[in-house]
Structure 1
Amino acid sequence: MTGSPDLPDVSDLLERAQVVALPMRVRFRGVDVREAVLFEGPSGWGEFAPFVEYDDREASRWLASAIEAAYAAWPDPRREVVPVNATVPAVGPDDVPAVLARFDGCATAKVKVAESGQTLADDLDRVAAVRDTMGPSARIRVDANGGWSLDEAVEAIGKLAAYDLEYAEQPCATVDELARLRKALARNGIDVPVAADESIRKAEDPLLVARLEAADLVVVKVAPLGGVARALEIVEACGLPAVVSSALDTSVGIAAGVALAAALPGLDHACGLGTVSLFERDVARQPLRPRGGVLVPGRAEPDREALAALAAPDERQRWWRERLVRCHALLADGSPR
């Protein structure tokens, strides 16, 4: 069965739930330790790991995705491998080579920019170091996570364009700003495509981006959209090229992202699914880290010893279980969609 399964009883999920805490190699998106709830169902393992600041309504989509993974089947893949990009956090330029070395064979890099407390000069130095390390043939994209105003984005992208950007991901926070930015870049002769991420996965109306012509492509993440089947529906409805990315998932969550990328009708860009390399240790027997720049579709199987070693402290176990119960109640009430 593909698509949305029947909602399992919350007691069943709680009985199966394993709460883990994975230390990061490098601070990323303000996170030093990534927490997640994993549970096994008849189809395999699912992952429930919305960021702690998300409210229950938003987080319940992540639970729907985890339930789909554990209790339903994913679509058949259209391709045998999925190309993957390296991910470079907001590190100094001297640290860039060591970060890139963790992503075997990746010919594309996504570079975090617009980090709080840093400057455009920091971003330029980081992107320059990536270009120097990877060479002229590599693809480089930047991700601002909506951190720039419209004017700041025009200035920053104009300067970063010197490093031959593949695209700029979510340079501004709102869909309206993205639409105006595309026009401003065109007026200024800055040939850098705009990608929408948060404007898809955090939006009440993820199709607004396409209607307002606010992006050249969309970045989709399985968990925030409610699962592989729902993400496929959104990509099809948007009618724009898609890049599949992760949300600091363990290998269990990454497997869902790879399933989506493998099922897309077209895939012209490397996907942001190599972030397991940012963890000191993963939960899987065979962590889903890129080899030769690609990942292979398939389920991730957690290692029981790793689950025990990475178990979250008791107070965090309680916090996540209570959150799961609240989000399950929202799903039982029929929201969100």
Structure 2
Amino acid sequence: MIYGREGMMALLLGVFFDLLIGDPHCFYHPIRLVGNLISVTEKGLRAVFPKTEQGEKTAGVFLSVIVCSVTAGAVAAVLYLAGKIHPYLHLAVMALFCYWMLAAKSLKDESMKVYRELKKEDLKAARRAVSMIVGRDTDQLTAEGVTKAAVETVAENASDGVMAPLLYLAVGGPVLGAFYKAVNTMDSMVGYKNEKYLYFGRFAAKVDDVFNYIPARLSALFMVAAAGLTGLSAKNAWKIFKRDRYNHASPNSAQTEAAMAGALGVQLAGDAWYFGTLYKKKTIGDALRPVECEDIRRANRLMYASAGLLLIVVMLLYCSFNILTLL
């Protein structure tokens, strides 16, 4: 880790505020600015580059370079200006950026909305709630399908919404964290293999794969370790992780989904509808028991425990590094 005491304090404050407040809906979230930047840049690049396979691929490369550079550069500039005004303001702004880049409470809150509708046996409302956090078609999902979708979302976003940002913030502070969030947001917006984004979004998807390669695997390993702490099966989580972690078109998505499925003892993934088209997908895990709505609560508990273990390891590494520098 390259960040010192101020960086660690900012990270801990960011984690604290994310756990306490989550993403408040009373103000415009800065990550939406990244989304707006992506949309505006995409529109401009599509107008400039030819609508051919190579033209769209080239435009996609420019999109990634522009969005990542502007996002990280803007955060660096704000931090520089804050530091010029006062050291405490610099710390406060760092902490605020760390808070904005973490999404543990938001992930839990949105998935628990699905849980509450399922508990009320309001399938229509549950489908509507889960449609807010997944990309698949939800209007024909059964209660089990809704539950699976919510659990899979918690599993996947435990990595790219919580643990990966935590890792990048620990290594490079808010600037690297912002760079990662730009990469991840681009993938969520243009990284589709449909007619519109097959070529334009290819580079963004590949960059996201690279940046999530190590975090996804570390997240899964921490999830396996945390399974035993949350009353779940660490042994089965390890078994399914080793067996099914590549049962997905993405090299990273199934890493945490496999650990989650094994820990819960359920089967996830399988065929799904996207934009009216059925996509054949491999299953992840063994159906040792039927999926139930309580699995959403269990998934969130495992997500929090995994992130907590990671934070403890980060703090121990930070303390060890500082002790070594004093010797």
TM-score by length of 1: 0.24
Bigger relative contact order, structure 1 or 2, given CA contacts below 8 A and separation 6+? 1
**Greater fraction of residues in helix:** 2
Structure with more of its chain in strand, by fraction: 1
Of structures 1 and 2, the larger Rg is shown by: 2
Under a length normalisation based on structure 2, what TM-score does the superposition of the two structures give?
0.25
